[in-house]
Amino acid sequence: MKVSFHGHSVVKVETNGKTILFDPFINGNNQTDLKVDNENPDVIILTHGHGDHVGDTVEIAKRSGALVIANNEIANYLSFQGLNTHPMHIGGAYEFDFGKVKLTPAFHGSAMITDNQEIIYLGMPTGVLLMAEGKTIYHAGDTGLFSDMKLIGERHPIDLAFLPIGDNFTMGPEDAALAAEFLQAKTVVPVHYDTFPPIKQDPQLFINLLKENNGKIMKAGDSIEL
């Protein structure tokens, strides 16, 4: 299994002959190395409905035919736009041909703002557990710290966790370090920082705060083999 990071919260997983793209915010993302026209994933997984996470899902999925996995509200909203979707919700899991996906809680918001300045509610935000090839990846999405991260780690031993550290909208480095302690992941990667001025952070600060020597700073395009 190959797992690569592509700036902000964009993560790509290649497993069981499939390519899975998390939160494909590419256009407008000055941290990414990806180009929308070059991406042809089999699956897109969305953590919540904000524009810097849904990103270029519609364009990519219409061209590639990717299955979009998201909470029920996002999945329905995108199905109205002609996408092939699989709705899920927090606590639910489903076995796909590439692996198992389970949605977890996240404490954040989830909505789309239209050009007419209307807010479309898109259900509760989520984290995502992806289990494939005997490995478990946790993408926390956008979230603050919450104590049930301990339960997530206890129920699902995690090989690789992506945690937001940008502060302002999500956890900052200090809370994310405590989240890493709760989760007990083998490797922890900071995400969701530096893309916009309010979330400017030094990822090394997060790494230095970790009690376990299990942090890894990934630049756009870096990959890990699990």
Position 100 in a domain: yes
Tens digit of pLDDT for each residue in 3-33?
999 999 999 999 999 999 999 999 999 999 9
Q: Looking at the 3D structure of the chain, how many domains does it have?
A: 1
In a domain, 49, yes or no: yes
Range of 47's domain? Answer: 2-217
**224 in a structural domain:** no
- 3-state secondary structure (DSSP) of residue 213: coil
Domain contains 103:
yes
pTM of full prediction above 0.85: yes
Give residue 71's Cα distance to chain centre: 13
- Within a domain: 163: yes
Residues in the chain: 226
CATH code (residue 186): 3.60.15.10
- Residue 141 domain-assigned? yes
Query: How far apart, in whole angstroms, are the C-alpha atoms of residue 25 and residue 132?
Result: 24
What pLDDT does 218 receive?
98
Q: Calculate the dihedral angle through the C-alpha atoms of 136, 201, 27, 130, rounding to the nearest 10 degrees.
A: 10
Is residue 129 assigned to a domain? yes
180 lies in a domain?
Answer: yes
What lies within 8 Å, CB to CB, of 67 at 6+ separation is: 42, 43, 44, 84, 85, 86, 96
Q: pLDDT tens digits for 88-136?
A: 999 999 999 999 999 999 999 999 998 899 999 999 999 999 999 999 9
